[in-house]
Amino acid sequence: MIVRVDSPAWVGQLPRDDVDRFPPLNDDTLDWSDVRVADASATASDVLENPEIVNVAIARCDVAGVVAHNGRMERVLVTGSRLRGVTWGAGIVQDVLVEATTGGDVSLRFSMLRRVTFRDCVLPDLDFTEATFDHVRFERCLLTGARFHRAKVKSLRIEGCDLTRCTGAESLAGASVDPGDLLQLAPSLATALGITLD
């Protein structure tokens, strides 16, 4: 595992030995910790209630159709992976780095995000409805069509990102946005303010 200089300190403390499969995701609850999964795939047939994912690294994996509610995700690294139809609803997401990851139909609705970074990701239509951002960063991500309706910003930095066609842009009040990102964000902000562009 390569640890970048700009990665959080906890990344260097994650497990280094790969396993090639996820734990079973068909139970009502999931308690998963201290493992690194690489080159694996996962799906779930049932909704996961109150899952706990702690001190986990996920590399080059394909995760599809996983829906979880009221969970806790802490010290989790996701790199080079694909997420499709994944929902982490009304949960805690703390000390998480998602890097070079792609996908669609991903939702973090109603969740608390604390010390979370999305870096070099392609995640169109990412749903942050009523999410809370506390020391969250979006770096060089394609997040076209992202949804921010009624989100709460405590600390949010957006840098080098494409947020074209995002909705709920008025909820980004208080965010720090790189000047280069404003041009693509402007139409969404104008729509939120009731300004017609013609």
Confidence at residue 195, expressed as pLDDT on a 0 to 100 scale: 84
Q: Which of 155, 152, 130 has its CA nearest to residue 138?
A: 155
The confidence score (pLDDT) of residue 194 equals 82
Rg (C-alpha) for the chain, rounded Å, is: 17
Q: What is the pLDDT of residue 1?
A: 42
What pLDDT is attached to residue 5? Answer: 44
Interatomic CA distance for residues 195 and 105, integer angstroms: 29
Which residues of the chain register pLDDT less than 70? 1-5, 26-28
* Spatial distance between the Cα atoms of 37 and 61, rounded to a whole number of angstroms: 8
Q: What does the alpha-carbon distance between residue 177 and residue 158 come to, in Å, rounded to a whole number?
A: 5
CA distances for 187 relative to 137, 139, 145, 148, 165, angstroms: 22, 20, 12, 15, 7
- What pLDDT is attached to residue 30? 84
Write the pLDDT tens digit of every residue in 143-178: 999 999 999 999 999 999 999 999 999 999 999 999
pTM of the model: 0.92
Q: Is residue 24 within 8 Å of 51, Cβ to Cβ?
A: no
Looking at residue 185, its pLDDT comes to 83
CATH 2.160.20.80 correct for 9-192: yes
Domains of the chain by residue range? 9-192
Under DSSP, is residue 26 helix (H, G, I), strand (E, B) or coil? coil
Strand pairing class (102-104; 82-84): parallel
pLDDT at 28: 64
Report in angstroms the alpha-carbon separations of 5 from 11, 12, 60, 116, 133: 10, 10, 21, 16, 24
